[in-house]
Structure 1
Amino acid sequence: MYIDTHAHIFRANESAAKVVRYVPNYDASAKEYLANLKAFNFSYGVLIQPSFLGVDNSYLLNALENDNLRGVVVINPNNMNDLMHEKVCGLRLNLIGKDKPDFNDYKDVLAYLKESKKHIELHKELDKLLLVIEDLAKYDVKIMIDHLARPSKDTFKLLDEFSNFKDLDIYFKVSGFYRLDDDLAFSKDVFDKLKDIFSIKRFVYGSDWPHTNYENLINYEKAFNDFCFVAGEHKDIILKDNAKELFFI
């Protein structure tokens, strides 16, 4: 039972966030995504709210009518309705290019995440990500890190600082390699470094379909094959067992 823990769906030219880095001019539907899952023998997929749709999770939530899909949403901290959906398994903070959040504003949210065993997902550049994790440490919640923590070759050494977080309930998505200096060998170095710090059970796979901003360089098949190279002998445990509890499967 393969599980893909990171994909996006959206309609062309739609955005709901106040500030956007990118708005695709094409549709990426749940039907197309499910076809990819079937073609590559994946049993389940997890839809991640894209940054350009802000807190309007309606398109994602509608897709969760399919039993093979789960969701991770983006919310305002004063409105947890979408987060409480039975097939939503986490909250995402899209922090690329943004200031570190004040988690005093998220106290009720973080208490709910802990009680419900849902997780908080962080998308942030490595040098600033570490500061966010330090702030979250006291809340005792599950933390999911997108795209192997987004290091660059210049910040690679900062991965050593994850040794300070070994006691946290922290996980990593083995995904988005083309976002890591567009160098697959470097991505493998990043994975190997994190694997030396954390148990292999702390890693899950994400296709990052439909690979926004990189559509001409990557597709579902290449993303999967690249993962197999990066994960090596650990491929099966990452694809199968690691994600079940985290994503309510």
Structure 2
Amino acid sequence: MDVERGSITETPTWSKSKTCTFPQIPKGSWDSHMHIIDAERYPFVADARYIPPSHLLPQALEREAELGIDKIVLVQPSVYGNDNSCLLDALRARGPDNARGVVAFDPLTTNLSTLRKWHHLGVRGVRVNFQSVEKKINSERELELLLRRYAHLIRPLDWVLQLYISLSCVGMLERILPPLRIKVCLDHFGCPSLPPTLYANEEDEQERYARILADISSLARLLEYSRTYVKISAHYRLCEDVSQLEPIARMLLTVANGEKVVFGTDWPHTRYSGVNIEPFVQVVLDWCNADQGLINRVFRDNAATLWDARTSDCQGRL
């Protein structure tokens, strides 16, 4: 059942008065992946895989200001299931000129009227999460039917189908997604399963990495020839050493002149306490090779296109 509750009437105060850490990040930039959690006001689902502390909107905005980021995309965390109340109330508080939302819902019990109501608040996508909840994919046909159901509902609003799914499934996605004629965004570098170490004398590790590179090539084709984007985000969920992601990131940044990549902080880094995101932001800037045009696309322009935010009019396509 898809539900929402409550209302926030007070808009959090926020001042971008602190010196921004990264002057290269352009004005109007976006964090395309972050979460708001209020453990006191909005209870978690009974089968939540983890119990995070509260991380509220004012905290998020202060953190974004330190990075030089102006606008946010609130993504539904798995601990709330299909109850989008916390996310929708945060969207009401922040306002559609400065935020977008990616909700979760059951396509069998949700109608277009509900989606239109959420659209006016700034929602522009639905998240289908296979990773956090360890949802099993039994067959390509089953995956195709599920994604078709979501596509049928969101296509009239030109929403994004956001997938948190293993990179090993990209071969199936390369066949399934283009005919759906919708925007798609893949979480966290496409979610490759990286080996913990890579040594030239360990044949199994080399073969595993070769399979990953083949999947990345498939992902690159998907980005090139469809309306699919990928987020550079949450490196710590994939590997301990971010340098392992460099060849993947550089390949993604060359596809379509870097127009299919968006940046996300994954704040507040649930299940990974004490993450300092600044070094990763600098790494992303380094991957852009001091190309300000590419930096602008990754941090601002691509997100504005993906999340239907080229203008301040929230009504978008109705």
TM-score by length of 1: 0.88
Please give the alpha-carbon distance, in whole angstroms, between the structure 2 residues aligned to 1:170 and 1:52: 26
Q: Which amino acid aligns with 1:99?
A: K
Check the 8 A contact 1:188/1:231 in 2, yes or no.
no
Q: Which has the larger radius of gyration?
A: 2
Q: Which amino acid aligns with 1:47?
A: L
CA apart distance, 1:212: 1.1
1:74 aligns to 2:111 (yes or no): no
Check the 8 A contact 2:188/2:232 in 1, yes or no.
yes
**What percent identity do the matched residue pairs reach?**
26
1:156 aligns to 2:212 (yes or no): yes
CA apart distance, 1:19: 4.0
Q: Which amino acid aligns with 1:79?
A: T
- Structure 2 stretches lacking a partner, 5+ long: 1-27, 196-207, 310-318
Check the 8 A contact 1:4/1:44 in 2, yes or no.
yes
Pairing 1:30-69 to 2, within 5 Å after superposition: 30-65=57-92, 66-67=94-95, 68-69=98-99
Please give the alpha-carbon distance, in whole angstroms, between the structure 2 residues aligned to 1:125 and 1:139: 20
Check the 8 A contact 2:102/2:125 in 1, yes or no.
yes
TM-score by length of 2: 0.70
For 2:44, the equivalent position in structure 1 comes to: 15
CA apart distance, 1:7: 0.2
Please give the alpha-carbon distance, in whole angstroms, between the structure 1 residues aligned to 2:174 and 2:136: 14
Tell me whether 156-165 or 175-184 shows the greater mean CA deviation: 156-165
For 1:122, the equivalent position in structure 2 comes to: 163
RMSD: 2.2
For 2:126, the equivalent position in structure 1 comes to: 91
CA distance 1:215–1:130, change in 2 (3 Å): farther
Check the 8 A contact 1:191/1:231 in 2, yes or no.
no
Aligned partner (choices 195, 200, 217) of residue 253 of structure 2? 195
Tell me which protein shows more strand as a share of its residues.
1
Check the 8 A contact 1:103/1:135 in 2, yes or no.
yes
Q: In the TM superposition, what whole-angstrom CA distance separates every residue of 1:46-82 from its partner, at most 9, and x where no partner exists? A: 1000112110100000001212221000101121465
- Structure 1 stretches lacking a partner, 5+ long: none
SS of aligned partner of 1:9: coil
SS of aligned partner of 2:301: coil
